[in-house]
Amino acid sequence: MNNDNSVHSYIDQLTWLRGIAAFFVIVSHSMRATEAQYSDSDEVSDIFLVSLFDLGSFGVMLFFVLSGCTLYISNANKMNYSNVYSFYVKRFFRIWPAFAVSIFFYICFRPVFDKFYTESQGVWIESQFLSSYSFSDIISYLTLTFNISGTKGLFNNAYWSLPVEFQYYLIFPIIIVSIRYMGLWGPVFIGAILFLLPKFNLVGFDSNFVFSVAYSFCGGMLIGHLYLKSSYRMGSCTGIILAVLIMLLARSLGRWVELPDVPVLSDVWNWHVINSIVLVYLVLITKFDIPGHVASFLKHYGTVSYSTYLYHNLFVAIAVLFIVNFEINDGDLKLLLTLLFTLFATYLVSIVSYKYVEKPFVAIGRRVANKKFQINP
């Protein structure tokens, strides 16, 4: 078992990776927004260096793997029947309040987007801000059930991953028990069952994606277990090179390199999951030697990455309004303006959101979770 210093080290490194995953998502959504032609004279961007980081889908799979891994390392030795309540309370206060606040801002922004946007053309950005919605849609979003039954893509299309992750929390205690009794085969077994359920038409949700990629969360727990059981560590240079190669592979598959024709794994999402599991494990076992100021920034950016994920599409949309109203047609300029503005504005808002929404509610969650029920005689 690793000592406390090692555990603190893993937290920093996985926080860095969480921030990098959020960056990938911002790049991808900036590219999707500026690939669209908002007028006949619009050009499409072609900046190769930026396209290298167009890894949004990979970034989301990284979030799922990271979630399973960090939760396992943090809770493996203290999860028991009496602590299940505490686990769910803390998770709820960690995820839901910031999500609910962000929905409020997206709803408030919709009339602004509608007023200053041109006519609907069916491009990527529009469904989030121009599609009609009902009160029941708001309820399905606030209850994080819209992936099961509800209108998808409203308010912020990045929201789709939040109910999926929340639903993975439901199986977290079960996977903990499976590891205790089955070792490494526990998460493998549960991940395989969930993966196969839609293959055999044993579930019939509007979207079965929550089952299809559940092994990302299970895989994260598995590598967390491996990390705690092993003392093997990799050098900084080797770890960085391998990590870069994995990210390049993730970028290449299905785009520059044809997907291998392997049964079951021919779907690019499955390759993203596998690459994510490998990358997270590499980051876990690597003893990074990077400049202190770089590590400090990565840690801070990763710390506020949840709010970054929540709010970035709001600023992508504001950038689109700027492009449309000022008739900016140059493709590369559109992309750079959108990306840089979104990165900067989202970072500032995320700092505020983390300080005034995330942290206070995390503290409330801890107090509620630690409160003992008392029954008066």
pLDDT digits 0-9 by tens, 164-173: 999 999 999 9
Amino acid present at 215: Y
Helix (H) or strand (E) holding 119: none
Residue for token pair 């989301």: 60
pLDDT at 375 over 50: no
Q: How many CB atoms lie within 10 A of CB 59?
A: 26
Mean pLDDT, rounded, of the chain = 87
Residue for token pair 């190669």: 245
375 is a domain residue: no
What SS3 class is residue 265?
Answer: coil
328 is a domain residue: yes
pLDDT in tens, 124-145: 888 889 888 888 989 999 999 8
Per the structure, the complete domain to which residue 286 belongs is given by 4-367
pLDDT in tens, 1-40: 444 444 555 678 899 999 999 999 999 999 999 888 888 7
How far apart, in whole angstroms, are the C-alpha atoms of residue 14 and residue 280? 7
Per-residue confidence (pLDDT) for residue 374, from 0 to 100: 43
* Better-scored residue on pLDDT, 362 or 289: 362
118 is a domain residue: yes
Q: If you write DSSP's letter for every residue of 212-234 in order, what string do you get?
A: HTHHHHHHHHHHHHHHHH----B
377 is a domain residue: no
373 is a domain residue: no
With bands split at pLDDT 50, 70 and 90, how would you rate the model's confidence at 201?
Answer: confident
What domain count does the chain have?
Answer: 1
Phi and psi, residue 278, nearest 5° = -65, -45
pLDDT in tens, 277-313: 999 999 999 988 888 888 889 899 999 999 999 999 9
pLDDT at 268 over 80: yes
With bands split at pLDDT 50, 70 and 90, how would you rate the model's confidence at 205?
Answer: low
Largest CA distance in the chain: 77
Q: Which range, of 59-73, 78-92, 328-342, 345-359, averages the lowest pLDDT?
A: 78-92
355-361, long-range: CB < 8 A, 24+ apart: 357/97, 357/98, 357/101, 357/307, 358/94, 358/97, 358/98, 358/306, 358/307, 361/93, 361/94, 361/97, 361/98
- Region for 317 from its dihedrals, namely left if φ exceeds 0, alpha if ψ lies in -120 to 50, beta otherwise: alpha
84 is a domain residue: yes
372 is a domain residue: no
141 is a domain residue: yes
Per-residue confidence (pLDDT) for residue 294, from 0 to 100: 87
Per-residue confidence (pLDDT) for residue 207, from 0 to 100: 67
Per-residue confidence (pLDDT) for residue 153, from 0 to 100: 83
Per-residue confidence (pLDDT) for residue 2, from 0 to 100: 46
Per-residue confidence (pLDDT) for residue 4, from 0 to 100: 47
Q: What share of the chain in percent tops pLDDT 70? A: 92
Q: Which range, of 85-89, 259-263, 322-326, averages the lowest pLDDT?
A: 259-263
Q: pTM for this one?
A: 0.91
